[in-house]
Amino acid sequence: MRLLSLLFSCCLLLQSTFAAPTRPNILWFVVDDMSANFSCYGETTIQTPQVDRLASEGTKFTRAYITAPVCSACRSALITGMYQTTIGAHNHRSGRGELKIYLPEEVKPVPMLFQKAGYYTCIGSGLPDLDFRGLPFAAPKGKKGGKNLKGRLGKTDYNFEWDAAMYDSHDWSGRSKDQPFFMQVQLHGGKLRADTLEANRALAARAKAELGSATDLEKVTLPPYYPRDPVLLEDWAAYLDSVRLTDLHVGRVMERLKNEGLLENTLIIFMTDHGISHARGKQFLYDEGAHIPFIVRGPGITAGAVREDLIMQIDMAALSLAAAGIPIPSVMQGRDILAKDYQPRDAIFAARDRCDETVERIRSVRTDHYLYIRNFYPERPHLQPNVYKDNKAIVKALRADHEAGTLSSVSEDLLFSPKRAPEELYDYQRDPWQLTNLAANPDYREALESHRAQLDHWMVETQDKGPESEAMYDSDMAEYLKKGNPEIAKNIALMKQWAKEGK
């Protein structure tokens, strides 16, 4: 009997030893308005030790791109693992008026899938006492101090109707004992820099206080199509300080995970929702607006690895579900890029549509060497009237330099041409800033035609919903008009006039 008892005890011990490992926690860092300006991605003006550490302890993807270069459309895509054009969420801040947007029945937001699988779902800053700006809760914008408010959720900005109950809390601390969590850490990122020089100087002062120094604007390197205007230099320096402050916040969250004994069983993904907000960045499909950092660290992830295959932000949904052992929905367009049988894509796609009151429609396909862009409204200028962008000090400075005739020919051609080419083709490997459009070059006719066909096929295959209806535009613009800004009303009238003219 004692022998049987001993054997039984040994069996239990073996079962415990070889039991399935604890399900990993899943944590996303999603940062606003920031390109891959981190040391590990080649940025030399500043140092970003915390994100660099993530890269050294995990796998860094060098060619990650968004499917939409503006917050709400990108976030609608990443939270569903679907192209925003497929689910009808492709127009920025759409479905906010009387007319609503509903997801197809078979498409579920990722937090709902995690919640159904027993995960504690949360969205916030990742820190108990600091908000998405890295400041104490409820502090006035750009200032410190303030009452600490509990239960503050992070940014969502989805263009469809969704149930707030899909998030259990703003923080993982409220979960049950041993319950795994799915956490979205939403950070203000590039939005820490603001539209005015005064606000950016306040950010520089904050950088000096928290990091010991502010970025030296004389050391700033700008893309070749931006002039070394003092306003642009000071703005870019503030942007780099926002990168440094974001890096600091990431380090604090990582330290918290370590102190709570959670770090080694947490899959961490770091990415941004699109590139820097600038005249050719955010809202556009060039590298400045579409290329993002993407780093994965955690259980089973190879440390120090670098992947150069093409991926998209919607892949974050699929790989996260797979890591948690949750089945990936068959309709999901994102892929588990960490799967052993994963076959890298030959091409990836992106789309830009209406942003605020400004009507636009652009599509792109990117392959190993080429970026093909189709402008559906080529009769309109690159910098269409848009209150959000036109209020920025940098755009005001660019327009003033344009009026003064002091811009270089490349700046004039790329930023202020009254019309655009219907098609653009760039060898982005050799032309990283996309300066030379090869679409009209007969030497690249084969590449142009093949990419044109790939884009056509993708639009049909994924059921691109196309232009926004006039009824939906009017519904959403009714909300914008409530702001009482006459410039918005003026721009809406111009959009309607251009539409009637077929422009």
- Per-residue pLDDT of 177-232, as tens digits, reads 999 999 999 999 999 998 888 999 999 999 999 999 999 999 999 999 999 999 99
pLDDT at 316 over 70: yes
Distances (CA, A) of 430 to 24, 65, 218, 433: 40, 18, 27, 9
Q: Is the pLDDT of residue 130 over 70?
A: yes
Q: 59-65 and 291-297: which strand pairing?
A: antiparallel
Rg, the chain, Cα only: 24
Q: Sorting pLDDT into bands at 50, 70 and 90, what band is 40?
A: very high
**Which pLDDT band holds residue 1 (cuts at 50, 70, 90)?**
very low
pLDDT in tens, 407-451: 999 999 999 999 999 999 999 999 999 999 999 999 999 999 999
Q: How many CB atoms lie within 10 A of CB 486?
A: 9
Q: Assess contact for 488 and 385: CB atoms under 8 A.
A: no
Q: What are 291-308's pLDDT values in tens digits?
A: 999 999 999 999 999 999
What percentage of residues in the chain have a pLDDT greater than 90?
Answer: 92
* pLDDT recorded at residue 141: 56
The widest CA-to-CA distance across the chain, in whole angstroms, is 98
Q: Identify the bridge partners of residue 391 per DSSP, sorted by sequence position.
A: none
Sign of CA pseudo-dihedral 455, 460, 464, 466: positive
> How much is the pLDDT for 5?
43
Phi then psi dihedrals of residue 371, to 5 deg: -120, 120
CA 386 to chain centre: 21
Q: State the pLDDT confidence band at 151, using cuts at 50, 70 and 90.
A: low
Under 8 Å between Cβ of 170 and 148: no
Q: What's the pTM?
A: 0.93
Provide the token pair at 142.
Answer: 């750009």
CA distances from 331 to 67, 86, 106, 206, 357 (A): 17, 11, 7, 46, 32
Token code pair at residue 414:
């790329």
**The pLDDT of residue 196:** 87
- Strand 362-366 and strand 370-375: the pairing is antiparallel
DSSP 3-state assignment of 479?
helix
d(CA 410, CA 430): 17
pLDDT of 480 > 50? The answer is: yes
| pLDDT tens sequence across 236-256 | 999 999 999 999 999 999 999
Question: Token pair of 436, please?
Answer: 């030379």
Question: How far apart, in whole angstroms, are the C-alpha atoms of residue 18 and residue 12?
Answer: 10
Residue 326 has what DSSP assignment?
P
Given a contact cutoff of 8 angstroms between Cβ atoms, the answer to whether 166 and 93 are in contact is: no
- The pairs formed by 106-109 with CB atoms below 8 angstroms and a separation of 24 or more are 106/329, 106/331, 107/80, 107/82, 107/329, 107/331, 108/80, 108/329, 109/79, 109/80, 109/158, 109/162, 109/166
Report the phi/psi class of residue 135: left, alpha or beta, with left for phi > 0 and alpha for psi in -120 to 50.
beta
Question: Average per-residue pLDDT in the chain?
Answer: 94
In contact, 168 and 174? CB cutoff 8 Å: yes
Tokens 């380090």 belong to which residue?
251
Picking from 474, 494, 489, the residue whose alpha carbon sits closest to that of residue 99 is 474
Segment 67-71 mean pLDDT: 98
In this structure, the strands spanning 120-124 and 181-187 are parallel
pLDDT for the residue 11: 40
Instruction: Please measure the distance between the N-terminal and C-terminal CA atoms of the chain and give it in whole angstroms.
Output: 90
pLDDT for residue 16: 32
CB 69 within 8 A of CB 351: no
Flag whether pLDDT at 155 surpasses 60. yes
pLDDT of amino acid 259: 98
Q: How many CB atoms lie within 10 A of CB 193?
A: 29
Helix (H, G, I), strand (E, B) or coil at 70: coil
At 21 the pLDDT is 55
Given a cut of 90, whether residue 138 has pLDDT beyond it is no
Token pair recorded at residue 207: 């950088």
pLDDT of residue 327: 98
Q: How do residues 17-38 score in pLDDT, each as one tens digit?
A: 333 358 999 999 999 999 999 9
List the 370-375 sheet strands across, edge first. Answer: 348-352, 362-366, 370-375, 423-427
Q: 349: left (phi > 0), else alpha (psi -120 to 50), else beta?
A: beta
Q: Please give the sequence-ordered ranges of beta strands (E in DSSP) within 32-75, or none if there are none.
A: 59-65
Specify the 3-state DSSP secondary structure of 124. strand
pLDDT computed for residue 134 by the predictor: 95
Domains of the chain: 23-349 (3.40.720.10), 362-500 (no CATH)
Calculated CA dihedral for residues 302, 304, 308, 312, nearest 10 degrees: 60
Q: Which residue in the block uniquely carries the two structure tokens 């969205």?
A: 123
All residues at 6 or more sequence positions from 309 whose CB lies less than 8 Å from its CB, including other chains: 61, 63, 337, 344, 345
Structure tokens that stand for 450 in this block: 């093949």
In the chain, what percentage of residues exceed pLDDT 70?
93
Q: Which pLDDT score, from 0 to 100, does residue 36 have? A: 98
Distance CA 344, CA 63 (A): 12
